[in-house]
């Protein structure tokens, strides 16, 4: 296993080798087996490449084709066999490299051709990842699949900022919501969300002022602690803390780059004492703007700098480079 540099350590971890033969029979599948002609929806974790699971790494190393998302870390692409085909299928607001139907068709076609296909998704495939839709398409097409859950940004990014999403004294339940409500989709039930002890908002940087405004309008105290964590679990992690009433303005003042996770609730305050991730830069409530620790605000990082379709075959070197542009400082 050669995923290096996780959690800012620069170390190399040892993980069991891939292409394992069937060894242990579990319910529903044979543990350790990696089948040709099947699709594996693998959670890549939120950024730090060491947060992929052992099973995820196992199937990645046995893959013939990797169809990967914008937030998958480049170090993980290097774990696929040299000859594996790497296909970029990233999406960013307003620009989809491949439409969802094209991605579904691609997965089905490659699997029917006999390939072991890994669909590598940021975080967990079933948390705002359209993994459910891809499974439906695969099931309809009769293509076997396996879901390898991942470490979701909704929990891991707060954790890397020292914020537990539940705490017996500060928050007994949490909800994960998207701050991005587009198209014809109905918006969330704001009055229900305003009553949740802890809210974790994904995809919400642009809409943060509106999200905060709505929560306050539906009864949440504007003094509720809040934090926004940018580029979580990476060497460029930044956490801005404040209150529901101040957090949007504070995030904008330091030009916080996406992706971000926003945490609203008393637990958000705990990061100030439970911070443990050394590379993190923190902009606490009360500081006028960018902390002296890191000087003037940087221009927003370009996480989605490359948008070219990568349907090229056998180009193992270039695909990680495209992804590296998205994660500017490797962990």
Q: Of 47 and 162, which has the nearer Cβ to ligand SAM?
A: 47
Coil, strand or helix: which one is 34? Answer: coil
Least separation in angstroms between CB 268 and ligand SAM: 15
Q: Of 57 and 154, which has the nearer Cβ to ligand SAM?
A: 154
In the chain, which ranges are E strands?
Answer: 24-25, 30-31, 38-43, 65-68, 85-88, 91-92, 95-96, 116-121, 145-148, 174-178, 198-202, 225-230, 238-243, 260-264, 281-283
The site map against ligand SAM for 99-138 (x = CB under 6 A) is ----------------------xxxx--xxx---------
* Integer Cα distance of 64 and 103 in angstroms: 16
* Integer Cα distance of 150 and 123 in angstroms: 5
Q: Of 59 and 200, which has the nearer Cβ to ligand SAM?
A: 200
Catalytic amino acids? 69, 91
Coil, strand or helix: which one is 121? Answer: strand
Which one of residues 18, 76, 194, 261 is an interface residue with ligand SAM (CB under 6 A)?
A: 261
Least separation in angstroms between CB 82 and ligand SAM: 27
Least separation in angstroms between CB 69 and ligand SAM: 8
Our CA dihedral for 275, 276, 279, 283, rounded to 10 degrees, sits at: 10
Which neighbouring-strand residues pair with 65?
85, 117
Total residues at interface with ligand SAM (CB under 6 A): 23
Nearest to 260 by CA among 192, 179, 184: 179
* Integer Cα distance of 267 and 172 in angstroms: 10
The residue number whose beta carbon is nearest to ligand SAM equals 123
Near ligand SAM in 45-74, by CB under 6 A: 46-47, 71
DSSP-based helix, strand, coil % in the chain, nearest 5: 25, 20, 50
Least separation in angstroms between CB 135 and ligand SAM: 14
Which one of residues 153, 215, 226, 322 is an interface residue with ligand SAM (CB under 6 A)?
A: 153
Strand-by-strand arrangement of the 38-43 sheet: 85-88, 65-68, 116-121, 38-43, 145-148
Least separation in angstroms between CB 157 and ligand SAM: 5
The site map against ligand SAM for 215-244 (x = CB under 6 A) is --------------x-xxx-----------
Q: Of 18 and 177, which has the nearer Cβ to ligand SAM?
A: 177
162 lines the binding site for ligand SAM (CB under 6 A): no
* Integer Cα distance of 310 and 89 in angstroms: 8
Q: Of 37 and 149, which has the nearer Cβ to ligand SAM?
A: 149
Which one of residues 5, 242, 257, 259 is an interface residue with ligand SAM (CB under 6 A)?
A: 259
Near ligand SAM in 269-298, by CB under 6 A: none
Please give the residue ranges that form the binding site for ligand SAM (CB under 6 A).
46-47, 71, 121-124, 127-129, 152-154, 157, 202-203, 229, 231-233, 259-261
């Amino acid at each position: 296993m050669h995923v290096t540099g996780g959690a800012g350590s620069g170390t190399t971890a040892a993980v069991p080798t891939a292409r394992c033969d069937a060894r242990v029979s579990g319910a529903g599948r044979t543990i350790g087996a990696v089948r040709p002609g099947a699709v594996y929806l693998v959670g890549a974790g939120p950024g730090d490449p060491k947060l992929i699971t052992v099973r995820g790494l196992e199937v990645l190393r046995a893959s013939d084709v990797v169809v990967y998302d914008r937030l998958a870390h480049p170090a993980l692409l290097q774990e696929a066999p040299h000859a594996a085909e790497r296909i970029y299928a990233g999406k960013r607001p307003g620009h989809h490299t491949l439409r969802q139907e094209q991605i579904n068709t691609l997965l089905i076609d490659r699997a029917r051709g006999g390939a072991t296909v890994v669909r590598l998704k940021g975080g967990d495939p079933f948390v705002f990842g359209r993994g459910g839709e891809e499974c439906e398409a695969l099931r309809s097409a009769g293509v076997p699949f396996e879901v390898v859950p991942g470490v979701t940004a909704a929990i891991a990014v707060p954790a890397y900022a020292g914020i537990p999403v539940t705490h017996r004294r500060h928050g007994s339940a949490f909800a994960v919501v998207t701050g991005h409500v587009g198209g014809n989709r109905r918006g969330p039930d704001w009055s229900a969300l305003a009553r949740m002890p802890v809210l974790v908002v994904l995809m919400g940087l642009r809409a943060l002022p509106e999200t905060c405004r709505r929560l306050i309008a539906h009864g949440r105290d504007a003094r509720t602690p809040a934090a926004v964590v940018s580029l979580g679990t990476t060497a460029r992690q930044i956490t801005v803390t404040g209150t529901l009433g101040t957090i949007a303005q504070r995030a904008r003042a330091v030009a916080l780059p996406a992706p971000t996770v926003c945490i609203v609730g008393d637990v958000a305050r705990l990061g100030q004492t439970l911070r443990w991730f050394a590379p993190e830069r923190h902009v606490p409530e009360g500081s006028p703007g960018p902390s002296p620790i890191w000087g003037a605000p940087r221009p927003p990082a370009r996480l989605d700098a490359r948008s070219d379709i990568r349907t090229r075959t056998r180009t193992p070197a270039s695909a990680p480079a495209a992804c590296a542009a998205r994660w500017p400082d490797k962990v």
